[in-house]
Amino acid sequence: MSKPIPGENIVKLKPEGGFPFQLFGDLTAGSVAKRHLIKGVFARGETSAWISPPGGMKSALMAQASICVAGGLDWHGKRNKGAAGVVYFALERADLVRRRLQAHRERMNLGDLPIAVVGSTVDLMAPATVSMVIETLKQAEESFGCSVGLAIFDTFAKLIAAGGGDEDKARDQGRVFSNIQRVKEAADIHVAIVGHTGKDESRGMRGSNAALGDADIMNTISGDVVRTVVVTKANDGPEGPLFSFKSVVHEFGLDEDGDMISVNIVSDERPEMLAPATPAPKLTANQKTLFGMLHAAGSAGLTLEAWNNQAREAGIGVKRKADLNDIRAALLSKGLVWSYGDKWNVDR
């Protein structure tokens, strides 16, 4: 696995053992700078989420990203900072992922690239799976002859379902994200997760809103002929449109019955970037938390008392009760929630 750059003095260890730490006096611009694979998109040690409705080309986009990361190529105008290995955990339609990678290989006349596709079931609800994932990354590095920089898990729902979990439950999402964090710490990689939007695309990733807190960057893909990737949440970067893209059908040739073998992939053409048709309202962290609680309640909604109790358990409105009223008023003004009697619901 990749190691810290010598001389950076990144961590100190307690003499008696324990967790690594870094002293304030050792902080430098070099030690806190991100180690990008693709500038502004993929950085080692971070997690990104790529979500869209079914058929939104999110998996096709990740196949193209794999080619660019592994090949040292810029990606939709975003600068490549050095080629690195890619392991694609294709938990859904592994054969389709392989066809897309092969299509890019043929169209770009590429030689061998450090990309590996894993088509096995991966249960990241189980801590024991972490060591299996890490070992897979190590073996891939030995095969590649270079470090792995990017691991893609497609889809996030399958990581939970494989262990009998429920993506609507924040606890189950939290277990998976905790294990993803363990993988990142051991392997020093970027993890990209592929997910689905819910019935209301403007609400973001399907299931519990826990992903909002665990992903460093949340990207939503929308559009038809021209699709646009929009950063809807970023820990330390700008939100808004990232880039737009089109799809193209690649034809491999005829099968034994004389029918064309083809696959839909992301085109190399860079269309003019389109602004999202309906940008999501800006929400504070506490507004997102309270909205997520109501969204998780589904069509049953929450009583005012139940909503307040959940909020206080999360540490909101404990010192100042008026904070809860202010947050509800803000969500109402943005058209995100509504109430009837004592029952509150998400505006679906």
Provide the mean pLDDT of the chain: 86
227 plus 148 within the same structural domain: yes
> Number of folded domains in the chain?
2
Distance from the Cα of residue 324 to its chain's centroid: 30
162 plus 112 within the same structural domain: yes
228 plus 338 within the same structural domain: no
Confidence (pLDDT) at 169: 84
Confidence (pLDDT) at 277: 53
Alpha carbon separation from 234 to 90, 112, 295 (Å, rounded): 25, 34, 21
58 plus 189 within the same structural domain: yes
262 plus 313 within the same structural domain: no
192 plus 315 within the same structural domain: no
Confidence (pLDDT) at 336: 81
- The long-range contacts involving 230-238, CB below 8 angstroms and separated by at least 24 positions, are 230/276, 230/279, 232/204, 232/280, 237/40
Query: Which residues in the chain belong to E strands, given as ranges?
Result: 36-38, 42-43, 47-52, 85-90, 115-118, 148-154, 190-196, 217-223, 227-234, 240-245, 247-254, 260-266, 302-303, 337-340, 343-346
Say if residue 159's pLDDT is above 50.
yes
Last residue of one domain, picked from the residues 235, 266, 297 = 266
Is 187 inside a domain boundary? yes
181 plus 327 within the same structural domain: no
258 plus 325 within the same structural domain: no
159 plus 199 within the same structural domain: yes
149 plus 257 within the same structural domain: yes
Alpha carbon separation from 133 to 126, 158, 159, 168 (Å, rounded): 11, 15, 12, 24
Confidence (pLDDT) at 276: 57
For residue 97, what is the domain's CATH number? 3.40.50.300
Chain segment 229-275, per-residue pLDDT in tens: 999 888 888 888 999 999 999 999 998 989 999 999 999 888 876 65
* Structure-model confidence comparison of residues 79 and 343, the more confident one: 79
Say if residue 339's pLDDT is above 80.
no
76 plus 178 within the same structural domain: yes
Domain span at 93: 36-266
pLDDT mean over 209-220: 74
- Both structure tokens of 185: 């710490």
Confidence (pLDDT) at 1: 55
* Structure-model confidence comparison of residues 19 and 314, the more confident one: 314
Last residue of one domain, picked from the residues 231, 266, 301 = 266
Last residue of one domain, picked from the residues 206, 236, 266 = 266
Chain segment 41-95, per-residue pLDDT in tens: 999 999 999 998 888 899 999 999 999 999 999 999 999 999 999 999 999 889 9
In angstroms, rounded to a whole number, what is the distance separating the alpha carbons of residues 15 and 37? Answer: 34
214 plus 332 within the same structural domain: no
User: Are 171 and 209 a contacting pair, CB within 8 Å?
Assistant: no
Top-confidence range, 66-75, 219-228, 283-292: 66-75
DSSP per-residue letters across 134-193: HHHHHHHHHHHTS-EEEEEEE-HHHHHHTTT--TT-HHHHHHHHHHHHHHHHHH--EEEE
For a pLDDT cut of 70, what percent of the chain falls above it? 86
Is 204 inside a domain boundary? yes
